[in-house]
Structure 1
């Protein structure tokens, strides 16, 4: 088998359904498997997977093992030569895996490969390509200064080597994942992707960013907007330095102050208002059930003809493929206030996000 897609789920049933549908569409020409590992969700995620996706391998944990151990359990069951660690709140394009497989097969000493990530507004997520967070870089990040945290020399649609990939999408050989020990289960939250990226590069392999394929990631990287987040970020970085670098007393002192002042200097990313003045449904047919639920007129258009402020565009996946949807979103003008949702194929809900720091919104409608 060539590829195993690993999706760790916890209480995001509708995002998971959309994610799996996009993954299935991207695996049509690949010998692959999808593994969903569930960390004891309280919603009906597992029931949904069993009912709607009988070919998906479902692992139901009896407790919430967290991100690192959960993924390690799933990778141990994977049969693919390559694995892709994928968040359930993502949407991949139909050619994503084919593009990255071809790219990986052509490279020597290939490490982890990442791709271009957009949030639910179609905005580029800079955590798609990051530097190694040295103590000073981490402190600047904690204080909201990100110029030295994200790789800005490499354009978002280019291809190049980078130090650190984001855990929402990590594509690599299973043998390499096992060689470096997989995700370090000492990490509670944050830092495990930095750790894995560093272990891979330290073993003589090259990590790559490939901006030629794009996916959506609805829940973007959280901002350091409160003391809880700041302490977790600080704790993850301390653990990382303890494992890989010498103790840095100055770093500990500076971060001690950084944690206490984080709430004064951090601002949440602005979210667009979730009350559009008009809905435009990109489809070839009317959806009366959806229109009734929205309680507003639903203008039907068979072609996307431009970006208008205050409009919420709903993409019918029964009509448009995921790559087309992602491409439209990726070209959103910088200051445009248009918002987007997707109606997955053969589903009774639409889903989207107007903020890169929040999980997003699901609107369910009943079919008559």
Structure 2
């Protein structure tokens, strides 16, 4: 397989202390040729650190849009500046496991474009987190999850031994070719935060591409390190869920059902975040 450039993209909004650990792992991974950091609104002291960090390393670029664009729009902005090759999208509070890019490239070999390769996301104890392996998101699966019946995510099922097709992988660790990303038009910027990864996986599959989960790639994800208020994050997630279901509703009946359930989805999402 021809080795192309791999550009890592980080979008950071008040990420907290784990951001440095994330960036050092990426900057010194031999499989990553460029690192683009989008400052979506960090404290002044953090911005100063990021400027110094980027200034010391030729392959690191800090992008400062001057406001919080949202996650998807931030990734899209960085992707426009990336060279041809692959794009590694990873959360700012995740630490990439060495060798993951190589494993994801291998899993991508021969796949139909636009392909997406996801990896294993785990916590500090090594336990797989919710999100890396998911079924297609439906209204039924969303609603049952709120009552404690998980019919969507697969972290409690046996892990595969090697790369396998998966309807949805996590945007916390996702590899795409720049050509495939551009083919799909990048992330849908109508999602400010959350669900944009579910959306792009669905669009990739519908476009005839492949979505693959690669267990040999992974990242330690600390999670909940952002200083963003949890209530604000929950509202963004609620809005994103409603947008997703409205966007993919395929019949008048389904559109009516989404309209009926939208207030319930929003209320349940916000209430869940308060627990």
Report the equivalent of 1:131: 135
1:31-85 Cα offsets, whole Å, 9 max, x none, are 6111111113124233223323422111112111111111111000001410011
3-state SS of 2:42 partner: coil
Task: Identify the structure with the greater strand proportion.
Answer: 1
Report the equivalent of 1:40: 41
Give the direction of change, closer, same or farther, for the CA distance of 1:144–1:262 in structure 2 (3 Å limit): farther
Taking the aligned partners of 1:244 and 1:142, their CA distance within structure 2 comes to: 21
Taking the aligned partners of 1:244 and 1:105, their CA distance within structure 2 comes to: 30
Taking the aligned partners of 1:151 and 1:237, their CA distance within structure 2 comes to: 21
Could you say which structure has the larger radius of gyration?
1
Task: Identify the structure with the greater helix proportion.
Answer: 2
1:40–1:62 contact (8 Å) kept in structure 2:
yes
Taking the aligned partners of 1:44 and 1:263, their CA distance within structure 2 comes to: 31
2:26–2:32 contact (8 Å) kept in structure 1:
no
Is residue 7 of structure 1 aligned with residue 14 of structure 2?
A: no
- Please show how residues 113-124 of structure 1 align to structure 2 within 5 Å: 113-124=117-128
Bigger CA drift: 102-111 or 50-59?
102-111
Taking the aligned partners of 1:210 and 1:127, their CA distance within structure 2 comes to: 13
Q: 1:150: how far off? A: 3.4
Give the direction of change, closer, same or farther, for the CA distance of 1:243–1:50 in structure 2 (3 Å limit): same
1:91–1:215 contact (8 Å) kept in structure 2:
yes
1:77-106 Cα offsets, whole Å, 9 max, x none, are 001410011111011112111111222234
- Please show how residues 119-198 of structure 1 align to structure 2 within 5 Å: 119-150=123-154, 155=159, 158-198=162-202
Report the equivalent of 2:263: 256
Taking the aligned partners of 1:175 and 1:256, their CA distance within structure 2 comes to: 38
Is residue 22 of structure 1 aligned with residue 22 of structure 2?
A: no
Of residues 240, 245, 258, the one that matches 1:241 is: 245
Report the equivalent of 1:206: 210
Taking CA–CA contacts closer than 8 Å with sequence separation of 6 or more, which of the two structures ends up with the larger relative contact order? 2
Taking the aligned partners of 1:89 and 1:146, their CA distance within structure 2 comes to: 25
Indicate the RMSD between aligned Cα atoms, in angstroms: 2.8
Q: TM-score, normalised by structure 2?
A: 0.84
Q: How many residues align?
A: 263
Q: 1:171: how far off? A: 0.4
Segments of 5+ residues of structure 1 without an aligned counterpart are: 269-368
Segments of 5+ residues of structure 2 without an aligned counterpart are: none
Bigger CA drift: 139-148 or 81-90?
139-148
Give the direction of change, closer, same or farther, for the CA distance of 1:212–1:80 in structure 2 (3 Å limit): same
Give the direction of change, closer, same or farther, for the CA distance of 1:198–1:254 in structure 2 (3 Å limit): same
1:212-233 Cα offsets, whole Å, 9 max, x none, are 12210110699xxx98666544
1:115–1:213 contact (8 Å) kept in structure 2:
yes
Is residue 61 of structure 1 aligned with residue 65 of structure 2?
A: yes
Q: 1:155: how far off? A: 1.3
Taking the aligned partners of 2:41 and 2:272, their CA distance within structure 1 comes to: 36
Q: TM-score, normalised by structure 1?
A: 0.64
Give the direction of change, closer, same or farther, for the CA distance of 1:135–1:36 in structure 2 (3 Å limit): same
Give the direction of change, closer, same or farther, for the CA distance of 1:221–1:105 in structure 2 (3 Å limit): farther
Taking the aligned partners of 2:32 and 2:238, their CA distance within structure 1 comes to: 41
1:69–1:183 contact (8 Å) kept in structure 2:
yes
3-state SS of 1:128 partner: coil
Give the direction of change, closer, same or farther, for the CA distance of 1:62–1:109 in structure 2 (3 Å limit): closer
Q: 1:259: how far off? A: 4.6
Is residue 94 of structure 1 aligned with residue 94 of structure 2?
A: no
